[in-house]
Amino acid sequence: MSSYAPPAATETPADPMSVPRLEVAAALLSLLRESTTEPRPDTQLEALTLAVSADLPVLLWGEPGIGKTAALTQLAASLDLPLTTVIASVHEPSDFSGLPVIGDDPAQQGVPMAPPEWAVRLVRAGRGLLFLDELSTAPPAVQAALLRLVLERRIGALRLPPAVRIVAAANPRSSAADGWELSPPLANRFVHLQWTHDHDVVVRGLGGTWPRATLPRLDPSKLPRAVDHARRAVCGLLAARPALVHRLPSGEGRRGGPWPSPRSWEMTLHLLAFATAAGSSREVLSLLVRGAVGDGPGLELLASLDRMDLPDPEALLADPDAALLPERGDLRQAVLDGVVEAVRNRPDKARWDAAWALMARALETGAPDLVVVPATGLAALRREEWDVPESIERLAGAVTLSRRADRATARAALATEGVR
C-alpha cells in the first residue's frame, strides 16, 4: 500500500478587498471613537460638576460646535449616569406638561396627564442626567411648559427621582437657529455657565485624551462650618444691600441670563456651601456665584467674602506685635483702614500707639504705598497731649518717598500726554 499522501492545502488569507466596505468603515469609525480620560484641572468642568452635585439645574451657554454636548456626554459617562437627551425646540408643550388621557369615568377619576416615554425611562432607571438641548430655540409656549419640569421635576403625573440631574444647553440668540430670548422665569431657575473652548483641552482631546469629570470630595468635618459660612455671607450681604434681594434687569436681553431673586440667592447659598465643603478654587466659585445671580451681585458677594475673612481691628490693636496682615494689597489696605476707623470711633493714646505699631509692621512686610492713606488718616487723629511714637519717623520717610514717586509718575504721564 502506498504511503504517499497529497500535501495539505494551505489556507489562503482573505482578500482585504473582499471585506464589505461598510464593515471597514465601521472599524475605522470605532478606532476614531476610542479615547481615554485623565485627571486634568478644568475650571469649567469643575464648576459644572459641583453644580450638578448640588442638584441645581445648569444652563450652558456657548457658540455652536464649542463642545457642550460632548462635555455632557463625557460628564454622564464619568458619573455613571444614563444620559437622556431631549431637543427642546422640536417638542410641543404637551410633551413636557403631559398628554391628556381619558379614562373610563372622567367625571369621577379626572383626566390624567400621561408623561412622555423618556420621562418614564428616567423614573424606571431611578437616576440619570436629563440634557435639555437647544433651549434657546424653544418657542415661548415650550419654555412655559418647561418651568414645572426644571423647578419641580414634574412631567405630567410623574415626578423625576431625586437622583436625576438636569442640565440644559443654549446658543446665544445671535448664533441660534430661529433663536428666542429665554423667558425671565425660566432663566431664573438655572445656574448659567458660559462654555468656551480651551485650546490645550481640545488638542489633547482630539489626540484621544479628554479631561475626566469627578464628583467633588466633600469633607464631612467641614459641612456644618460650610453651611454657617454660606448663610453668614449671603445674609450679611443682603442685609447691607436690600436692593439686591430682587432686581429684574431692565433690558430684555439681560433677563434671559442670571439675575438676583430670592430663588437665585438660595441657589447661591447652596453653591457657596458646596464649594466651601469641597475646597473649590476662587475661579470655580466665581463662575458659580456669577452664574446664579449675575456679574454685579456675584462680584459684590465675592468681595464681601474677602472682608469676612479679614482680622478684627480690635484684635489687631490688642496685640499689634502678633498681628498677621493679609498678603493681598487690597485686603491689607482694607485692614489698615479698618484699624484707623476703630481708633477714630474710640480714640485714646494706647490705641493710637498700637495703630502706629501696626502701620510699622505693615511697612516691614508689604509695599510702602499701602501705608500712605491709613497713616495720613491716623496722623490726623493725634491730640496735642499725645507724644509722637518713634515708629512715625520710619513711616514718615516711607510716606514722603511714596508721595514723591506718585508725583513723578503724574509728571511723566502729563509729559507723555503733551508729546501726543
Predicted confidence (pLDDT) per residue in 373-399, tens digit = 888 888 888 888 888 777 666 666 555
Mean pLDDT of 326-346: 87
Identify the CA nearest to 276 among candidates 78, 76, 54.
54
**How many CB atoms are closer than 10 A to CB 270?**
20
pLDDT at residue number 397: 58
Give the C-alpha separation, 259 to 249, whole Å: 7
List pLDDT tens digits, range 106-118: 666 666 777 888 8
Query: Which residues, 6+ apart, have CB-to-CB distance to 394 below 8 Å?
Result: 360, 363
Q: Name the more confident of 283 and 8.
A: 283
pLDDT(298) > 70: yes
pLDDT at residue number 70: 82
Give the C-alpha separation, 42 to 167, whole Å: 18
Please report which confidence band the pLDDT of residue 417 belongs to, taking 50, 70 and 90 as the band edges. Answer: low
Mean pLDDT of 222-238: 93
pLDDT at residue number 190: 96
pLDDT at residue number 324: 84
C-alpha cell at 411: 509728571
* 188 close to 265: Cβ distance less than 8 angstroms: no
List pLDDT tens digits, range 52-103: 999 999 999 988 888 888 888 888 888 889 999 999 888 888 888 777 776 6
Please report which confidence band the pLDDT of residue 252 belongs to, taking 50, 70 and 90 as the band edges. Answer: confident
Mean pLDDT of 311-328: 86
pLDDT above 90 coverage of the chain, percent: 34
Mean pLDDT of 321-326: 84
Q: Name the more confident of 18 and 215.
A: 215
Angle at 129 between CA 63 and CA 73, to 5 degrees: 50
pLDDT at residue number 57: 96
The DSSP H or E segment spanning 178 is none
pLDDT(50) > 90: yes
Let me know if 79 is exposed, middle or buried by CB neighbors in 10 A (0-12, 13-18, 19+): middle
- What's the predicted TM-score (pTM) here? 0.73
Chosen CATH of 38-101+111-211 out of 3.80.30.20, 3.40.50.300, 3.30.70.270, 3.40.640.10:
3.40.50.300
The full set of domain ranges for the chain reads: 38-101+111-211, 220-308, 313-419
β pairing state of 163-170 and 127-133: parallel
Q: Name the more confident of 407 and 73.
A: 73
pLDDT(281) > 60: yes
Please report which confidence band the pLDDT of residue 21 belongs to, taking 50, 70 and 90 as the band edges. Answer: confident
Mean pLDDT across the chain: 84
pLDDT at residue number 106: 65
List pLDDT tens digits, range 193-224: 999 888 888 888 888 888 877 778 899 999 99
Lowest mean pLDDT across 72-76, 141-145, 366-370, 412-416: 412-416
